[in-house]
């Protein structure tokens, strides 16, 4: 809750360990509140910031994201797979920013988000919580009319895209979070989130050799477990894509281009691990995954914004990414990408990453 946040350092480091700040404006956008209604307190709460329920209402919200960010990337993929493009629009921040966090410099005319009419993401945070003391992070859902952040809880947001927006999803939208698989999906996440998704950050932002060594060991131990699991299964849980695969994909797809060098996660590249490389190529080539990636922006973000670990701010040229398009052969493991659902159509021209940023569009 917001009262408890003031003065708390973000991503505080203890004994050189990177400790991610995982507190959020945790309001939710849900089906149970009628469209047109004002937000209401979550049952049993006093309705402070983080305790409100807002209605799922097409046109009312805007997803504020950035191509570079793996946590925002989850939301972009889920929105596309569920066909929610007409339910809420997408705002994409510039890849680099100063200490005031994300802005729209060079992205939209006049450096202003054209719908929210703000130059910086922080304006939507401050509209909700004046002097907001935490990280100004993507992804966030903002209410268009009030230009304020509703939620920045990246994980709950994607679960709610799947479960709360049903009537506004496309026909054939897959079930990415089936009831009967939830326990297993979250069990996999108990390993993937701390050791892999956040594990690469724990390596990269470690402030001591010991903290780095520990994070590195845990990262690779977890990747070994996941590799073994994916040797005989096409997807992490069940026989079609679920949120578990989306969560892992966003780290794997950045690995060789960023985490291997910039974050010193360099036991090997994903392209040198046949099972993970096959799994990554399979997902990359699946509509909704590879077509949401912008490698140029992703590299620019990490190598330029994190000057504390890359003081020259030089952005590497490599690696060659064309291998992502090669045959993966994982169909023989069984399963189908979307289960009883169907693939989304091609990504719309206004949301397609540029050809220079993605081998899928380079041809
Ligand atoms: N806040 C979430 C994830 C979102 C997040 O960390 N986003 C990053 C980009 S990858 C961000 O917006 N950082 C900007 C900042 O902290 O100023 C968490 O840490 O669990």
- Enter the tokens of residue 340: 């009883």
Strands of the sheet containing 89-92, edge to edge, are 89-92, 61-65, 140-143, 148-151
- CA 135 / ligand 1 centre spacing (Å): 7
The CATH fold of domain 2-168:
Glutaredoxin (3.40.30)
- Enter the tokens of residue 154: 């990246």
* CA–CA gap between residue 19 and residue 152 (Å, rounded): 18
Q: What is the DSSP letter of 111?
A: G
Task: Please tell me the predicted confidence (pLDDT) of residue 12.
Answer: 59
- CA 22 / ligand 1 centre spacing (Å): 9
| Closest-CA residue to 254 (of 244, 241, 269, 234) | 269
Long-range contacts from 13-17, C-beta under 8 angstroms, 24+ separation? 13/205, 13/207, 15/208, 15/210, 15/211, 16/206, 16/207, 16/208, 16/210, 16/211, 16/212, 17/202, 17/206, 17/207, 17/208, 17/211, 17/214, 17/215
Q: Where in the sequence numbering do the catalytic residues fall? A: 69, 201
On the 0-12 / 13-18 / 19+ scale of CB atoms within 10 A, 178 is middle
Task: Please tell me the predicted confidence (pLDDT) of residue 10.
Answer: 46
* Domain positions in the chain: 2-168, 179-362
Q: Which atom of ligand 1 is nearest to the CA of 99?
A: 17
Task: Please tell me the predicted confidence (pLDDT) of residue 11.
Answer: 66
> What pTM was computed for the model?
0.96
Mean pLDDT by runs of 10 across the 363 residues of the chain is 39 82 92 97 96 98 98 98 98 95 96 98 97 95 98 98 98 98 98 98 97 98 98 98 98 98 98 98 98 98 97 97 97 97 96 96 84
The answer, yes or no, to whether any atom of ligand 1 lies below 6 A from the CB of 200, is no
CATH entry, 179-362, from 2.60.40.10, 1.20.1050.10, 3.40.630.30, 2.60.40.1080: 1.20.1050.10
| Closest-CA residue to 236 (of 337, 158, 343) | 337
- Enter the tokens of residue 37: 């209604």
């Amino acid at each position: 809750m917001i009262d408890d946040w003031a003065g708390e350092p973000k991503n505080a480091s203890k004994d050189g360990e990177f400790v991610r700040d995982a507190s959020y404006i945790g309001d939710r956008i849900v089906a149970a509140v009628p469209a047109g209604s004002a937000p209401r307190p979550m049952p049993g709460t006093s309705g402070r910031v983080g305790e409100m329920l807002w209605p799922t209402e097409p046109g009312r919200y805007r997803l504020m994201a950035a191509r570079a960010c793996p946590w925002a990337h989850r939301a972009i993929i889920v929105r596309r797979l569920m066909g929610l493009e007409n339910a809420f629009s997408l705002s994409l921040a510039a890849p680099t920013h100063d200490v005031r966090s994300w802005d729209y410099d060079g992205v939209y005319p006049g450096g202003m988000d054209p719908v929210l009419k703000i130059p910086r993401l922080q304006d939507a945070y401050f509209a909700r919580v004046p002097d907001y003391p935490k990280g100004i992070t993507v992804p966030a859902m903002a209410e268009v009319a009030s230009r304020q952040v509703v939620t920045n809880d990246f994980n709950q947001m994607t679960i709610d895209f799947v479960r709360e927006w049903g009537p506004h999803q496309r026909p054939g939208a897959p079930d990415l979070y089936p009831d009967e698989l939830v326990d297993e999906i979250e069990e996999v996440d108990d390993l993937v989130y701390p050791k892999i998704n956040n594990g690469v950050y724990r390596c990269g932002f470690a402030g001591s050799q010991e903290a780095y060594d520990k994070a590195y060991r845990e990262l690779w131990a977890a990747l070994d477990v996941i590799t073994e699991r994916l040797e005989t299964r096409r997807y992490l849980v069940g026989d079609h894509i679920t949120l578990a695969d989306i969560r892992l994909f966003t780290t794997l797809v950045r690995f060789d281009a960023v985490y291997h060098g910039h974050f010193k996660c360099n036991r090997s590249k994903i392209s040198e691990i046949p099972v993970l490389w096959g799994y990554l190529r399979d997902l990359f080539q699946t509509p909704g995954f590879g077509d949401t990636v912008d490698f140029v922006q992703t590299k620019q973000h990490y190598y330029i914004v994190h000057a504390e670990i890359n003081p020259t701010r030089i952005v590497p040229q490599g690696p060659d990414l064309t291998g992502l398009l090669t045959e993966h052969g994982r169909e023989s493991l069984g399963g189908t990408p979307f289960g009883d659902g169907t693939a989304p159509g091609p990504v719309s021209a206004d949301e397609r990453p540029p050809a220079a940023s993605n081998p899928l569009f380079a041809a």
